[in-house]
A and B are shown apart, each in its own frame.
Chain A
């Protein structure tokens, strides 16, 4: 048992232990809790950083033991898991900072941060899972640990959203379990493996494999909010802003999308999935989801609800990218896992700032908010332009890579989808930007609070600024080593030899 096998365990344990300690702390020891939270988050960043460095050198960190006869529990750090783990570690730190400020003076903070850490531990587990079984284990743990966060406020609306969330995700989990168990019965315990397992598989297995694939995607699609399984997501935005931020950017929807990536790349294998005719179908669903989510976003009056529908649309870029049968396009999809996370978390942070500082929830109340809160509004603007795909921001990199990839793969219709989606993005984001910067303030803010010199509390102010800077940086420095794009290309180089 060397240090390198234990690295994934340590990375998991930082947030798991933090969670246990936080649950044990009394409700009113706020400072100690904050210190523990931030220390654990910082420690995790360092651990993930070391592993990223190691994986880039070609090292692998793996630990496994038999849990149930015939089934192994595997934690493993490879290039793909580091993409998700890195995102999750980084955004955990920022969201924790944000949440400390956001929940100041509110009750039940011990419960909140306990489950919050548990939720991050689950995403870490999902990232590091080395086979479908382990993945499922953390996937369900994520469901359970996010439920208390969704219903945190304890209002009728929050409880209803929580109920729907539970129904959707637990049913999805049951479908996923069925698929995993079936696949296990058919092919044994399958480790995630670069290139997948089913290249040139016996034709007699084609039908069950196709059915299992559909079941897997259905189970994962609930969390990834693929239409028509997305119903829970817009409702779940009733949760506190840091939760929404985490849910939409890292935890839940990404877990689903990441699972789809794992299934296509490392269980079936890109080529096998294409041979079985599965990629086209999945791509169609993703394309439809992209257009549908953006269209629904156009009609929203509530800012967070608009962002929720935008998430439905944006997460499917990842899925669509995976279906592009070619190395460039696939990299575009993968990099969006990170890009969408950074952009969406910025937008949710900003929405939370408007709500907490000005009491603004509706889009038509935002008139003139840019003058009152310039820092937050700049961050929001960068996030919105990123989503639209304006160069040189993160979203542009995604769309450009995916577009060129689609053309190279001869899937021209994808470019049409990208263009329509970008137009729709512009159509719902630009009016908001117009209100922020160019409209005059019509009425007093619904519920204004003041924090000294800054436009809002420093805890709330800094995280969106940092992520906004990141949006610019990952775009500008896309070709540097260790940028998300370079890392995605590294993964693709290892995954597929197309």
Chain B
């Protein structure tokens, strides 16, 4: 059953991508919703299967390494598969109402959307370094296309910039992969780790790993390589921004994290781990500050992504040279941060899109009176903000708590300052929006009221992100389901 589900996860979106590319469903909400439904059900099925039976290993078509496509799924991967399904379904649903079907570019959204989803699943499930590369490229190209959608000069400029960064990142990563292949003779991540553990191969220099991490960090927009992100995420259509911030940047980070956890202990040192962590810390504070300074709502949300991504890179120092318990705590914290940020940021972008649609302006200052006449969208925005601030009982708080504990336990107290300052900076941003929206300068409702379903979607995502904190324990227990090398089909 599980191999079918895994292949289904890859081929359903590809099939829908081709279908929507070939046929112009000008009013194809039914087709879209059907595809989304299938994907969500398959993702849920795989999640349930892994939660019950444990991790899996599968060679597509029976081809052996190093030629074949190796898929593997463990608790972590399946959690991300499910997360992707939830967020993509919400964004797709939102887009099917939000995007104007009379525009000529409308039909290109769907193929790109499905290619993106396929690419994401390849990354979560891919077992060897080259497949991961293919997944990354699929994601990048689809994402760039989505940013360019609509074709205004600003959007094209941002898309080109994004494309450059993405290609450069891929190149660095590919070079690293080639070096690894030259050194170890295998592309399978498990194979490389196995060789290193056996001690059969000399653990060479850190160079290939650093190269790969550099490329991935560029794609994840780690400070100081974040310049491409705010324009791209800020200018894209809201459902696209939501997809990009919630999922796309997480894909490259996921690969970086996998590499680090499998190879970092062997191929790098304390200084590298601390350096990456420091860049993350600067991203949190500097990105948070820039977000606070933005005058435009979506730019603010985009800069907040730069800051939130910074937290993720604390994984590197907090898992290097520490005990297993601390490392596990840090990993759990980072994973929760990935999930809660994905849900909250998607909610925030969608809510911001609704607010912008209602007031007819992207400026934060234009929100006066929103609290009185559009409380629902503002409430979604606010709830998502609570999670980003890391206040209880949200998933963001659970993540922060675990990271605080890991920092304290490993004696790296300097990350405490980052965690606390980052929370306050996010709070400053969100409260700026509240403040603007509470100004009561009009008694007449001059706002456009978006359709109810558009307002409900961000609220659902925000509530999921809130609820994650309350059920963090069971979610984490599924995440901890290991990949068992012995089980394969």
Contact = CB atoms under 8 A, between A and B. Distances in A.
B440 to A, nearest CB: 3
A144 B391 contact: yes
Contact of B375 (A73, A111, A147, A178): A111
Given A69-B332, A155-B440, A159-B438, A177 B372 contact: no
Contacts of A144: 386, 391
Contacts of A453: none
Nearest to B441: A154
B435 A159 contact: yes
A184 interface: yes
Nearest to B472: A68
Interface string A160-179: 00110010001101100110
A177 B398 CA distance: 12
B391 to A, nearest CB: 5
A162 B435 contact: yes
Given A23-B379, A181-B408, A107 B401 contact: no
Given A151-B435, A155-B440, A163-B431, A66 B473 contact: yes
A154 B398 CA distance: 33
Interface in B424-452: 424, 427, 431, 434-435, 438-441, 443
B424 A170 contact: yes
A177 B438 contact: no
Contacts of A173: 391
B145 interface: no
Given A69-B332, A140-B392, A162-B435, A153 B440 contact: yes
Interface residues of B, number: 37
B268 interface: no
B416 interface: yes
Contacts of A71: 401
Interface string B2-30: 00000000000000000000000000000
Given A68-B473, A69-B476, A111-B371, A181 B438 contact: no
Interface string A72-93: 0100000000000000000000
B398 A68 contact: yes
Most buried by B among A136, A143, A177: A177
Contacts of B389: 170
B206 interface: no
B373 to A, nearest CB: 10
A110 B434 CA distance: 17
A26 to B, nearest CB: 11
A178 B392 contact: no
A159 B439 contact: yes
Interface residues of A, number: 38
B398 A67 contact: yes
Contacts of A151: 434-435, 438
Given A166-B431, A181-B401, A185-B409, A174 B379 contact: no
B423 A174 contact: yes
Contacts of B372: 107-108, 111
B402 interface: yes
B195 interface: no
B435 A174 contact: no
Most buried by B among A68, A141, A147, A178: A68
Nearest to A181: B404
How would you classify the secondary structure of chain B's contact residues: helix, strand, loop or mixed?
helix
Interface string A104-118: 000110110000000
Contacts of A141: 391-393
Contact of A174 (B332, B398, B424): B424
Nearest to A138: B392
Most buried by A among B375, B391, B423, B434: B391
Given A108-B372, A144-B386, A154-B440, A68 B402 contact: yes
Nearest to B440: A154
A185 B408 CA distance: 7
Interface in B328-365: 329, 332
B420 interface: yes
Contacts of A136: 392
Contacts of A155: 440
B421 to A, nearest CB: 8
Contact of A148 (B391, B420, B438): B438
Interface in A90-149: 107-108, 110-111, 136-137, 140-141, 143-144, 147-148
B193 interface: no
A58 interface: no
A70 interface: yes
B470 interface: yes
Contacts of A107: 372, 440, 443
B405 interface: yes
Given A70-B405, A163-B431, A184-B405, A171 B424 contact: yes
B404 A67 contact: no
B239 interface: no
A178 B400 CA distance: 11
B438 A154 contact: yes
A299 interface: no
A154 B370 CA distance: 11
B469 interface: yes
Contacts of A148: 371, 434, 438
Given A111-B375, A136-B392, A181-B404, A154 B439 contact: yes
Contact of A137 (B329, B393, B424): B393
B405 A185 contact: yes
B162 to A, nearest CB: 34
A108 B434 CA distance: 15
A85 B375 CA distance: 30
Given A107-B372, A177-B420, A67 B438 contact: no
Most buried by B among A73, A144, A162: A144
Interface in B192-228: none
A182 interface: yes
A79 B391 CA distance: 29
Given A69-B476, A166-B427, A181-B408, A147 B434 contact: yes
Contact of B438 (A140, A143, A162, A185): A162
A185 B470 CA distance: 21
B404 A177 contact: yes
Contacts of A159: 435, 438-439
A299 B468 CA distance: 50
Given A137-B392, A147-B434, A154-B440, A69 B424 contact: no
A174 B404 CA distance: 12
Interface string A168-209: 001101100110011011000000000000000000000000
B264 to A, nearest CB: 23
7 contacts: A67-B470, A108-B440, A136-B392, A144-B391, A159-B435, A185-B405, A185-B408
